Amino acid sequence: MYIRTIGAAAVAALVATTAYGQTVNTDSDPSAPFSTYKTYAWTTGTPALESLGEQRIRAAVDAQMAAKGFTLATDQAPDVFIATHVLTQRQPQLIANGFGPWAFGGAFGTIDVNTLVQGTLVVDMYDANTKKMVWRGVATDTVSDKPSKNASKINKALAKMFRHYPPSSN
């Protein structure tokens, strides 16, 4: 019984820990001529379910692109196209109650299940001439019910993503 209780507590702690951590990854085509890319334009992706969220994402990506020296191509052909994809998924979260050192005396705890919404933001960059993807950033985090908190998470995730742009040639 002791091992089952400790095992349940460990699983609950692991699930709770992974549910709250923001993860950001990037990937790129090592043969892409990143130093030649100076202008960009938006192309169709998978928009956020609500338009204010989509506007915030686009504004944040525009800011990151400007910080990297890009300009939005309005009257000329761009060097790259940018598409964003927003995905959400409901995730069960286990919360252990009553587990601890005192549980050895025969007291048992309970595990409650909460449902969190996990959001994934993908930023894809395509070479305008070859139409091939040259860079991708992916960020995953728990979605808040507060828009200001989500905007902060988006800005933080995009800053982490674009730290890896342009990719190193190693």
**What's the pTM value of the predicted model, to 2 decimals?**
0.75
Residue of 13, 33, 15, 18 lying closest to 167 (CA atoms): 33
Q: What is the pLDDT of residue 32?
A: 97
Q: What is the pLDDT of residue 20?
A: 56
Domains, the chain, with CATH or none: 2-162 (3.30.160)
Tokens of 111: 């595990």
DSSP lists the bridge partners of residue 90 as: 117
Give the C-alpha separation, 138 to 160, whole Å: 10
Q: What is the pLDDT along the chain (170 residues), one digit of tens a residue?
A: 433 333 333 333 333 334 458 999 999 999 999 999 999 999 999 998 888 999 999 999 999 999 999 999 988 999 999 999 999 888 777 777 765 555 555 556 778 777 788 999 999 999 999 999 999 999 999 999 899 999 999 999 999 999 999 998 65
Amino acid found at 48: A
Residue of 122, 48, 120, 123 lying closest to 82 (CA atoms): 123
